[in-house]
Structure 1
């Protein structure tokens, strides 16, 4: 469907975001690691409560809601798949970052979720985690690595992914129920996206 140019009303109680899909088809030069005390731990068969808590702490400010709304059986089927790898970035004995790699489609990997908690913003932990994501993804026989981000995400996300070697290839508009109205997210989450009821 081709949309005409113009402005379109988003109904009250909904949120709209522009989603940008990015990809790379070969391993780029990986930048030098920033200095920092981080480690990466693969979490085999993650406990759902642990996963949701880390997902919330990393993504709540950016309205990551897909997994928060997902039932236990569906979530377990994804994160317990042998072709999905879940990693925690550890800092000072606490999980402060999430990396999820999905190899379920042959020949490619999707970075499904990637981020660090606000505690680590500006520390270099995001760059360090992306370097690990690139190494882990391309250690498999893939021809494509991809991810998506949106305008609710950190304002520097697209530029960060472009600097990491990705290129944008698709844009979408996504409209869904505002999670702060139905209680999926706290009312004060994502202050950069006003609630309209």
Structure 2
């Protein structure tokens, strides 16, 4: 298990310049709820990053320390939504309010149990709707969104590009390159501290 050079990786920058361009997706056959995380948690975001992204080579954050995760999620510009369905976590997305009205969807995806059930279009639609409402839902100090954008690549889910197009995104840039990808089965994220240093023996019940 080691890094591997993947040649011919194509990456697309996709954008939407008007909320009227968003095209709805067919509704899922189960109720899905989308909840803004009001308490920032590095543990939750990095766990979901692994659960959702490992199968599609989300590995760029593997080198991040716990401190870097905290610095990322605790900014007021970043909004994280937790998606639930059938009593469990079904996915999540991260949206960043950037200067000048740019609003980037950094991550959006389903947990493995919900992949392949036709829910991806609805997930992206709901994510984009919230991206356009950034000044009302979170990051109100940054002003309204004027552009919603994201990056996807050939390492992402095979249906990702088509899904984004169906929701109304257009390709703004395209690049092809060789990318070094760590083994997605590894998740080298240490805990913020060694729990053994704070554990105390408990007395046995009599």
Give the TM-score range, shorter chain. 0.7 to 0.9
The aligned counterpart of 1:194 is none
1:137 aligns with 2:131: yes
The aligned counterpart of 2:156 is 153
Which 5+ residue runs of structure 2 have no aligned equivalent?
Answer: 135-143, 189-206
The aligned counterpart of 1:193 is none
Q: How is 1:19-168 mapped onto 2 (pairs within 5 angstroms)? A: 19-27=11-19, 28-31=21-24, 32-140=26-134, 141-168=144-171
1:13 aligns with 2:4: yes
Which 5+ residue runs of structure 1 have no aligned equivalent?
Answer: 1-11, 186-197
C-alpha distance in 1, partners of 2:32/2:186? 33
Alpha-carbon shift at residue 174 of structure 1 (Å): 4.4
Alpha-carbon shift at residue 121 of structure 1 (Å): 2.0
Q: How many residues align?
A: 174
C-alpha distance in 2, partners of 1:180/1:44? 32
C-alpha distance in 2, partners of 1:181/1:155? 17
CA RMSD in angstroms comes to: 2.2
C-alpha distance in 2, partners of 1:155/1:24? 21
Alpha-carbon shift at residue 139 of structure 1 (Å): 1.7
Relative to the length of structure 2, the TM-score reads 0.76
Report which of the two structures shows the higher radius of gyration computed on alpha carbons.
2
The structure whose residues are more often helix, as a share, is 2
